[in-house]
Structures are given as structure tokens and as C-alpha cells.
Structure 1
Amino acid sequence: MARSRRVVFVCCDGLGRDWVRAETTPVLHDLARTSLWCAEHSAVFPSVTRVSAASVTTGCHPARHGLHGNRMGLLEEGRVVVRDVGSPDFRQHMRRATGGTLLVPALAERVAGAGGCIAFSNVSPGAAYFLDPEHFGHVYHRAGSYAPGGRRLEGGDALEVSHDAAGDWAMTQRFCAEVLRERRPAVALLWLCDPDHTLHGVPLGSPAHADALRGAERCVAEVVRTVGRLRGEGEEILLLVGSDHGQETIGEGVTIEDWLAVNGLGELLANGDVAVAGQGTAALLYATDRGRGALLGVLDDMRSMPWASDVLAGEGLAARRFAARDGVVAAVNMARRSDANPYGVPGHRWVATEAGKPAPVGSGQHGGWGPDETRPFLMANDGGRSVGSASRATSLVDIAPTIVAFLGLPIDGFDGSPLPLR
């Protein structure tokens, strides 16, 4: 590996590919013209940030890396307990229940002896920490920043930013000055919270959405300028800019646990033999051996519900690169209407709600395999050598193999493959 060869990846969380156009994202639009543009780039299922982070860093689908969703059922003392993967302590719960975290190596482990990895993230703690769950590199997050070996960073060494556009900008400025110009790791990851953070509370296409896009672009432009200066100093840098998923509009909500209880599974739910882990526009259905038969027995009725577009189990899950194991029995993709929101953005989705938490109708959401939430964007800029559209369909799992291939490291053990750079 050439010492000056490095990779920078910027993720604009929740920025769907259809929003990358001259009138909405001029910075990204201009950068795409001098980059390899992945015109058929796809998300993973569930199309949520925490799973996406694991797929980006491992180059593997959930069936192989083992992180199920934004919320995940763990088998604890013989019952299914659904926990929030975004919580700072989720990895400890996961280790106690399964014996570990991700089932395959993360990027930080692969490059630990070849220049290292530094990640700055402003999304949920879980999404940040699953970029490097075993502490092979540096991860910076407002809930806690860590050095290799899990040593917690304190004071000015930590990352103290707000969870909003202002925090994204402050994080980006430090990332460019400290990580890119001074520390110069082999892999530098910057994960912005917007536009996703904003869209969970406002309509797609609204003025607030446009503001969130401008904020994300401001951060991307700063990284592009910094990389340009470093290239001018003789460094060979591959710049990857993309997103993890898109967004769709919330139309209505349903609490699937309530439906299961009405259909005879109330006692199994109360005992932890059946559980639901909502993923926004999708849900994962879990069961112990005691509850599995009863859960399977109501899936046909569930398929007839107006809120369920698809209910998959077994081979159907495998086709989505998701494994029916560790308590997972089935997945529900919530139904979709085609009508437009007040800003002309088509599509309304049912969402899986938690008891006592009504769905914020009209705001953005994601998690299933709808047409917009599964279209993230990705471009690879290598200083103008690779320009045009990629010659094949790509996915989040192609990012890690692209990074390690550019660094000259082994590319074995991935589900994905390197982008066709020239």
C-alpha cells in the first residue's frame, strides 16, 4: 500500500438518490459529473441506519453480519427481549445474549495495521459504534468517543456536538482539519445526521427538507475542498460520497403487537415467546420455540391486512439477504399508497408503531423495501480518472471492498465487490 493512498467516505444519512439533482443538491450534482456515479445503487434490508452502518463497514448483508435492525430481539433467559440498537449500551446486551457483536470483521479491524480507521458520526450511538464495535480504531460520537482498545476519550479529545445540522457542520470542520489534514488515517469516515434527522419530523419536499439538504451539502463541499488541497500536495485519495437509504412519507400507523394479541397471541407476547421489532416501514417478527408455531399460524391472516404489503419467512427472507435465525421468524414490509404529499412527493406508507407512540403522519420514515427508501446514492471520486455511470448495479456492501481494494489489502470475506474504478 502506498503511504499516501487514503480513502474518505462521507455518508449523508437518509438522502435518497432521486434528490441528487441540480436544483436540490447542486454540490452533489456537480461532484457526480467528475465521479463514477452508481446509477443502480441499493440499500440493504432493513433500510435503517444501524444495519446500514454494519453493512457499510463489513461489506456484508445482515444475514452474515448479524445485526438485525434499528430494534432487535435478543434471546435473554429463554424469552425474546426487544432492545433499541441505538442505545449506547446495546453492544453489552448483545454480547451477553449472543457472545459477541458483528459476526464478520469491520473495516477498522481490516486496516488496523495498515494506517488505521477514524470515524466521526452524528447519528444514533448504536449506528456510530457499529462502524467499529470491537474498538480496532477510533470512533467519535457525542455519547462517547473511543480509541483503539476501547479507551474512552475525554475533554477536548472527545466529540461534543449537537444532534442537528449545526452539529454536523462543527463535526465536519474538525474532521477536515484534524483527521484529514493532520492525522491522515488510511480510512476516514464522516457520517452526517442530516437530512435524515430533519426528515423524521417534517414532510419530504418541504422548505425544512431543502434546508437540511443545504446543510448536508455544506459539509460535503468542505470535505471536497479539503481533499482537493491534499491531492494538490501529492496525496492519492479516493473520495466516496453516498447515503444509506432514502425516505418515504408516513401515511398511517399500526401496532402489530395489538393485532397479534387480538388474534390469540396475547399470552405469548406477555411471556416473551413472541415479539415485534418495529423498523419504521417494516417490522421483524420474533419467536421462541414455544411461540414459533402460533406465530407462523397467523401469517396468512396478516398478509390480508391493509397495512401489510409483504410478509416473508424462510426462503423469502433469504432472498432479501436476511436470515431466519436467532429468533427471527418473519418480516413485514408495510403497505404503500401512491398519492402525493402536500409538496408533490408521491407515496404514503403504513408504519409499525410502538404502544403509546403514535406515528408522526406526514413526516419521513424508512426501514422496509419500498421504492424510495431503498434508493440511496453513491459516487466515487478518484480525481477524475473514473467518470460516468458504473457498469453494474451496486449496493452498500460494495463500499468496504472498494476501500480495501484501493488500499491494496485482501478483499476476501465480503458479500460485495469493489466498484469498477478505472
Structure 2
Amino acid sequence: MKSIDTQVAVIGAGPAGLALARMLAVQGIESVVVERQSRHQLCTAQRAGIVEQPTRDTMHELGVDARMSREGHEHAGFHLRHRRRTHHFDFRSFGGGAAMLYPQHHLVTDLVDAADQAGQPILFDTAVVAIDGHDMPLTTGTSSRAATVQAIGPAGPVRVRAVTIAACDGFHGIGRAHALAVEAAVRTHSRSYPFGWLGVLARTAPDPTEGMYCVSSRGMSLHSSRGAELTRQYLQVPAGTALRDWPDERVWAELRLRSASDDHPPLATGEIIDRTLIAVRSLVTEPMQVGRLFLVGDAAHIMPPTGAKGLNLAVSDATVLSYALGAFFAGAGSGELDSYSDRALRRVWQAQMFSTGMTDLLHTRDDDPHAWRIRCAQLDELVANPDARRALGRLYVGTPFPTPWRWQGNA
């Protein structure tokens, strides 16, 4: 069996795990990332990405924003189509900065390339099968690598011995499952929605170029740019919908109905080259720490896709944990690590509040005419009230992360 000793074992090479490993490396803290997928799978799995201003700032500080600055598109707000009229919410006008439209798999690739350049080990094609030693006491200044990650790689079994483990392996990963299995105090708070999103990638020019939510009594639709000649479009569909029930003609007919307006031409149609179904759900697991095991990103929480908070919360969690690990390995004790869950969860629940509110506002839940008119009144108020838009923009563009990513003592 191959054995590796390190300070932090990171399970999962998504945005959370790769950002954390980069933050630790810059602080001189050793880590090993274990990833079940191949490098090719990881870096080519297309996923949308809205990178909030705090995430942009963090990537700049970490030196991994060069391609994002060149190829990303600034995203200071979005369009809302309601009552057949199109309204533009420019949150930058309120002084809130701007997010960036940049595909998540590109950001992942940038972080993998940075790890290569820094000599940061990533074990691809390596599936974690067991976690041990998470319950050993974590005391000030400890160098004992009591926590163990057991995995199977291309060449056989691998054991990574570490001081701490960061589970960044998503909702279905072993990290969250292990925490729920071994610690009775860990609880999951969840909310289910009776609808999902049907998403298509199409060869059409975007109009408008920034994202647009269309609110209709038939259900929500979302339209966003993926470049000069590609768009990603989404339809609210009932939960349990099958892709085979939505041929191209039906998709375009429904998108056109929901996006119809009096101030823009009809939605352009084109070749659909990819389609997917996305569940809409909310879930928070707390606390986000069990002994030496820390849950990060989707391993701890799932957001509705409305508002695109998942990627940014992953980096926010990584920031809080990086700061706490920096303090611990600098000899400042375990106080910051003990506070990790509480600090991270403040922003998690703030994002849950935002995503839940946006989801309830933009989606049609039933055929109740009273509920529909209430939602129309809420949207009218949002369009007419600058203070309401300012409050929305503050959360949409991104609130500051709970801590810096680098521990600097009392400086």
C-alpha cells in the first residue's frame, strides 16, 4: 500500500478542494488532494458559473485569475421580464461591484494548472473508501497525523495520513456520509421543491447579453450567455420530468411563450447541443465539523440554482477553513478551527435566505390566482423601488467572506 504523509488531506478536486489547497500552499501548509475522477473528466464537465465579486478578489489574490480576466464577462446584474416588459437591474450603479460570468470548469482547470505549477499533489482517478482517526483530539501545536484517508487509485490502495481532513467531495461524497454516520449531533435541514430546471445549451446569439429571468404564469425561464454564439436556457418543469418528454420543438415553443415581450423581438432558436435536468432543493448540514473532519462546499450545503451561489459558497467555506488552519499550524491553538462551522454557516444561511427568496419570487408554485397576483405585486415593487433593488444587489453580487483566507496573526 502506498502511504503519504501530509498536514491536510483534501477529498475532492472541485472548486472547494482546489481553492483550499491553493490557499494552504501559499501559506506554506502541505496538503494532498484526492479526486475520484480523471483530470480530463474534471476539467471538461461543463457547468455554469457566476463568480461573485469576493470570489473574484480571492482568485486574484491567489494568482489564478489571468484567464478569467481575459475571457470572463462582467456581470453587474440581470434582466427581469415581467408583464411582457424587460427591466435591467444594474447593481454596479449601487456601488456593489460586479460578478463575472465564467464557466466553473474553466475555474477548476485554472486551479489545477496552478497546482501543477506549484507542485501541489492531486491524486486523480482515486476513490476514497474510508476515513479513520477523525475523532482523535486536536490540540495546540500537534503534528500527529492521526487522521487517515483510505483510497483506491490506479496503482492500488493508497493511504493518506494527515492532521486534519477537509471533505470537499459534494453531497454524495464519503465526507458528509461519514459525518452523519459517526456523529449523532450532526443534523440536516432541507427543503424540497415540486419543480426542477430543464437546461439546454444552444447555438444561438444571446439577447440580452446578461442573464434574464422571465416570470410567467406558465413557469419561470432563464436565459444566459455562454459566448457570442452560445446560450444556456432553462425552463421550470415539474419534478420528475423526463428529458424524452421535451423534444427540441417543445423546448423552443415553451421558451418563446414564457419570454414573450412587447419590447424585444421573439427569442431566437437554434440547434440544441446539450440538455440536462437540475433538481431544485435546499439543504444545510450542521455543524460542518466532526473532530478533525471538516465539511466544505456542497458536502455541507446545497442551494437552489437560482442566483448561482453554490460555487461562491464553496470558496467562502474554503476561505474560512484556510484561515483557521493557518492559525492552527502557526501555533495559535485550535480556537479558529473550533469556530469554523459557526463562521461559515453565517454566510451559508444568508445565501439560503437569498436563494429561497429568489426561488419563491420567480417560480410558479401552483395555479392559485391569488398567489400569482401577490407575486406580481412583489415584482412590481422590485422594479419600482431602488432600495429593494439595492438590497437584492448586495446579496446577488456577493457579501464579503467571513474571514481572510490567510492567517496573519494579530497583524
TM-score under structure 2 length normalisation: 0.29
Q: Which has the larger radius of gyration?
A: 2
